[in-house]
Amino acid sequence: MATDPNSTVRERDKTHRKILDITAELLARNGYASTSLRDISGAANMKAGSLYYHFASKDELVERVLSQGIKLVEDKVRAAIAKSPPDQPLETIRNAMIAHIQALHDSGDYAAANIRCYAHVPLDIRRRLRTVRMDYDDVWKAMLATAHDAGALRKGIDLTSLRYSLIGIMNWTLEWKRPKGQSPREQAEEFFAIVFDGAAKTD
Amino acid sequence: MATDPNSTVRERDKTHRKILDITAELLARNGYASTSLRDISGAANMKAGSLYYHFASKDELVERVLSQGIKLVEDKVRAAIAKSPPDQPLETIRNAMIAHIQALHDSGDYAAANIRCYAHVPLDIRRRLRTVRMDYDDVWKAMLATAHDAGALRKGIDLTSLRYSLIGIMNWTLEWKRPKGQSPREQAEEFFAIVFDGAAKTD
DNA sequence: CCTACCGATCGGTAGG
DNA sequence: CCTACCGATCGGTAGG
């Protein structure tokens, strides 16, 4: 009869997390408007109205998933940068690329949900997500500026274009199936080589 | 009283086109499920039911917009390749990149609609769109293979990764506002330099 | 966490 | 191309 309050709290957190996981998966696969509360609750073995015991609205739920999608990637990338040799800026960038692509494909569907739904989510949510995106963008801005100041980059290169090139390459991997037998890490290393060593033959 | 049948036909084609243009804009901005037939018809100054005088269903309308989105880009890129010097494969790639990015931003919102809605559109539409995407992909496959065979690319480079790098960089430009004063052409040229000359300093 | 329900909106159709 | 309408589904709520 008597329930352990701690285990009850843990149960609720578990359900909480399960709902978020399911939402991430459905958002990534079907998009914002096509993901109904009934889809989500059904996959979580509950009724639509019951979601409101955990979240105040669909949009709160969505916003949490999408912002988590960035933060999970950002945390991994920050960690990879932190344990890279400070005197080897290119190696740091390489490790950041590996971390970013690995996180994209290993963080459930949170990151995919963000990338795929960002443009179509209600404006007030998007405005707040934009600041989260910019925070992560700052990580890359700083890393590339460091590499540039250290003289590791080609003279005259536009750091903004470089940053968007890298982000575009990495995020686009969500659009295609990975070539057979290639791990996210190998993928990232190949991308690094293309951008930094250059694709053209050097004589 | 008597109407010129030719002008009537032209009127209908004009309305046809207007509906497609509006649909492209709304799809790119709001996504597939959030774009209702009432939104579209309202913007075209007609009633929802009247759209069925022009199109059989929402999905037919959507599919036309999204497949046009690729074909408009593909046509421009093919044309750019055709008038490039056959003996300068890197110059050809550069021109193709310029054409792709220009078409992305100058073809109304058709291309943006495709890129943003592809993953969330009903499966049967997506399946057919996939073949359209693959046709365009073949253009890049052939172009890169030609450059490789001509010895213009770095030894050991993975052509698949290179192709996806380029497509990813270019399509990601839809996600951000273009830096002030930079034209799509200048953008494309900067991207070409990054990928083919390499971002790292060469000693 | 469920039952039962609300008003709003959706894609689509009949008949003109 | 419009009017008037259909059944289905949506996000959300009251009361338990």
* A46-100 pLDDT, tens digit each: 999 999 999 999 999 999 999 999 999 999 999 999 999 999 999 999 999 999 9
Using the beta-carbon criterion (under 8 Å), do A168 and B164 form an inter-chain contact?
no
pLDDT score, position B3: 46
Percentage of residues in chain B having pLDDT higher than 70 = 96
Predicted pLDDT of residue B176: 84
CA dist B120 and B82 (Å) reads 34
Residue B16: nearest nucleotide (C-alpha to C1'): D1
Of the pLDDT bands very low, low, confident and very high (cuts 50, 70, 90), residue B203 is: low
pLDDT score, position A203:
66
Give the chain B residue whose CA is nearest to the CA of A154: B201
Calculate the angstrom distance between C1' of D5 and CA of B124: 29
**What sign for the dihedral angle of Cα A9, A14, A18, A24?**
positive
Once rounded to an integer, what is the mean pLDDT over residues B30-37?
98
The CA distance from B93 to B194, in Å, is 13
| Cα→Cα distances A192→A92, A98, B177, B200, Å | 11, 9, 25, 10
Whether the pLDDT of residue B75 is over 60: the answer is: yes
DSSP B133: H
Instruction: Specify the nucleotide whose C1' lies closest to residue B34 (CA).
Output: C10
Which nt has its C1' nearest the CA of B52? C12
pLDDT at residue B42 tops 80: yes
**How many C-beta neighbours within 10 Å does residue B17 have?**
10
CA distance A98 to chain B (A): 15
**pLDDT computed for residue A108 by the predictor:** 86
Reported confidence tier of residue B6, pLDDT bands at 50, 70, 90: low
CA angle centred on A165, ends A116 and B192, rounded to 5°:
130
**Chain B residues close to A187, C-beta within 8 Å:** 161
Q: What is the pLDDT of residue A2?
A: 43
What pLDDT band is residue B5 in, cutting at 50, 70 and 90? low
Give the mean pLDDT of chain B.
94
Residues of B in contact with A172 (CB under 8 A): 164, 167-169, 171-172
Evaluate if residue B7 carries a pLDDT over 80. Answer: no
Question: Mean pLDDT, to the nearest integer, of B106-114?
Answer: 94
Residues of chain A with pLDDT under 70: 1-7, 203
Rounded CA–C1' distance between A47 and C2, in angstroms: 7
Q: How far apart are CA A128 and CA A118, in angstroms?
A: 11
CA A148 to chain centre: 25
User: B104 CB contacts (<8 Å, ≥6 apart)?
Assistant: B73, B111, B112, B170, B171, B173, B174, B184
Question: What's the confidence (pLDDT) of residue B136?
Answer: 98
